[in-house]
């Protein structure tokens, strides 16, 4: 098999299974290192020893490349495939109904992979669409995109969508809700996008009244389609834990329902956001929902399984989940804002 494809697939399975990042990056680096060479050149380098000496190639990746060049499925990849199981036991029917994902990141901001790799993984998982939602400029720690960089990215999205394979990469952004309640991108730039996920990323320990007004400002902006990870909590993972933000959930979810803004069910294992009691409150308020992966790497696109299990457990009807909708219906809804 193609050795780059083998390395990328190994990284996909490791990302999906929350393997240590150093292990994942070893395979991603090796794929980049050999990506410029054709099969004949790689075979020559394998046989004369140059491949072994290349920067970014270790013992395991050398073995994988060699077995792929010999026409085999590498042993390491075959083992990962054989051990793969669904991420969750519940939510199977809802998981099968999901068509897309409206919150994903690439290496343009704080993601770990090229846009093209994210798209390839989404297609392999059977998605009909995903939104590319890299961060906005205020989030400098995540390399947020200026209007100029976002404009450049939109040209790449157009190129990807020039193909006619039934898949669509939606133009999007995860835009910061600033302390003022305004969105962290120009209105003209937001007008050019298909999907706007609005999230709070700073001053998460603000008092309840301050946070509520901030969130209401973002929700009421006519560009906002989805309220992202509304509490900002972390319940596990390498970043430690973080308590949920304090806000008036009844007012916030009432505003979401009134303004036709979907509440995100963020599927990242370390977030599980919103908590169950807030999902119940949003459901009672009449909100729509968006089950999203918040993927920062191709394998993390599979995290939708976790969100589907939680949504099913809370009894959310599939028709209230916008990521079960066909692309045309989704875009019509989004543009109506």
Question: For position 31, which CATH number holds?
Answer: 1.10.150
How many C-beta neighbours within 10 Å does residue 60 have? 15
Find where tokens 């720690």 sit. 141
79, 153: one domain: no
278/20 Cα distance (integer angstroms): 31
240 burial class (0-12, 13-18, 19+ CB within 10 angstroms)? exposed
168, 100: one domain: yes
102, 61: one domain: no
Domain boundary among 55, 83, 111: 83
38/2 Cα distance (integer angstroms): 10
Q: Give the helix/strand (H/E) hosting 176.
A: strand 168-176
Q: Are 33 and 3 in contact (CB under 8 A)?
A: no
Q: Which residues contact 31 (CB under 8 A, 6 or more apart)?
A: 4, 7, 8, 11
Assign residue 283 the CATH number of its domain. 3.20.20.140
How many C-beta neighbours within 10 Å does residue 49 have? 8
189/174 Cα distance (integer angstroms): 13
197, 259: one domain: yes
Q: Are 242 and 261 in contact (CB under 8 A)?
A: no
**Number of domains into which the chain is organized:** 2
Collapsing DSSP to helix, strand or coil, 107 comes out as coil
3-state secondary structure 71-85: CCCCHHHHHHHHHCC
Domain boundary among 83, 103, 131: 83
24/194 Cα distance (integer angstroms): 31
78, 131: one domain: no
- 29 — phi, psi (to 5°)? -65, -40
What pLDDT, on a 0 to 100 scale, did the predictor assign at position 337?
Answer: 80
101, 73: one domain: no
165, 58: one domain: no
What pLDDT, on a 0 to 100 scale, did the predictor assign at position 237?
Answer: 84
262/229 Cα distance (integer angstroms): 11
98, 237: one domain: yes
Please tell me whether the overall predicted TM-score, pTM, comes out greater than 0.75 for this model.
yes
Q: Give the helix/strand (H/E) hosting 265.
A: strand 262-266
Residue 228 is part of which domain span?
Answer: 92-335
What pLDDT, on a 0 to 100 scale, did the predictor assign at position 173?
Answer: 98
Q: Which residues contact 262 (CB under 8 A, 6 or more apart)?
A: 225, 226, 227, 256, 287, 288, 289, 290, 322
64, 178: one domain: no
15, 159: one domain: no
Q: Rounded to the nearest 10 degrees, what angle do helices 147-160 and 115-124 cross at?
A: 40
Apex 160 CA angle, 156 and 161, nearest 5: 115
Q: Which of 106, 117, 137, 157 is nearest to 32 (CA)?
A: 117
Would you state the structure tokens that stand for residue 272, as one six-digit string? 């599980």
Domain boundary among 60, 83, 106: 83
102, 73: one domain: no
Query: What does each of the 337 residues of the chain score in pLDDT, given as a tens digit?
Result: 999 999 999 999 999 999 999 999 999 999 999 999 999 999 999 999 999 999 999 999 999 999 999 999 999 999 999 999 989 999 999 999 999 999 999 999 999 999 999 999 999 999 999 999 999 999 999 999 999 999 999 999 999 999 888 999 999 999 999 999 999 999 999 999 999 999 999 999 999 999 999 999 999 999 999 999 999 999 998 889 999 999 999 999 999 999 999 999 999 999 999 999 999 999 999 999 999 999 999 999 999 999 999 999 999 999 999 999 999 999 999 999 8
79, 99: one domain: no
């Amino acid at each position: 098999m193609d050795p780059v494809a083998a390395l990328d697939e190994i990284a996909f399975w490791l990302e999906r299974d929350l393997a240590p990042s150093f292990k994942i990056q070893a395979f991603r680096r090796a794929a980049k290192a050999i990506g410029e060479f054709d099969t004949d050149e790689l075979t020559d380098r394998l046989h004369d020893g140059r491949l072994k000496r290349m920067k970014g190639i270790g013992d395991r990746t050398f073995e994988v490349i060699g077995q792929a060049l010999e026409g085999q499925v590498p042993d390491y990849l075959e083992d990962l495939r054989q051990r793969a199981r669904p991420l969750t036991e519940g939510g199977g029917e809802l998981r099968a109904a999901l068509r897309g994902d409206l919150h994903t990141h690439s290496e343009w901001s704080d993601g770990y992979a090229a846009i093209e790799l994210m798209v390839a993984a989404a297609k392999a998982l059977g998605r009909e669409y995903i939104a590319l939602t890299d961060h906005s400029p205020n989030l400098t720690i995540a390399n947020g995109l200026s209007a100029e960089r976002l404009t450049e990215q939109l040209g790449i999205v157009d190129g990807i969508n020039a193909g006619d394979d039934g898949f669509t990469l939606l133009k999007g952004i995860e835009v910061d809700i600033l302390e003022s309640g305004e969105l962290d991108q120009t209105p003209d730039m937001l007008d050019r996008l298909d999907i706007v996920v609005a999230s709070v990323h700073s001053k998460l320990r603000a008092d309840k009244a301050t946070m509520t007004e901030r969130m209401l400002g973002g929700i009421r902006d006519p560009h906002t389609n989805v309220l992202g990870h509304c509490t900002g909590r972390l319940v596990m993972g390498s970043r430690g834990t973080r308590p949920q933000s304090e806000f008036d959930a009844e007012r916030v979810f009432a505003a979401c329902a009134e303004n036709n803004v979907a509440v995100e069910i963020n599927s990242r294992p370390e977030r599980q956001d919103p908590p169950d009691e807030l999902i119940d409150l949003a459901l009672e308020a009449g909100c729509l929902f968006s089950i999203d992966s918040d993927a920062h790497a191709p394998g993390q696109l599979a995290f939708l399984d976790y969100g589907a299990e939680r949504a099913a457990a809370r009894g959310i009807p599939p028709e209230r989940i916008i990521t079960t909708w066909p692309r045309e219906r989704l875009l019509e809804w989004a543009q109506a804002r």
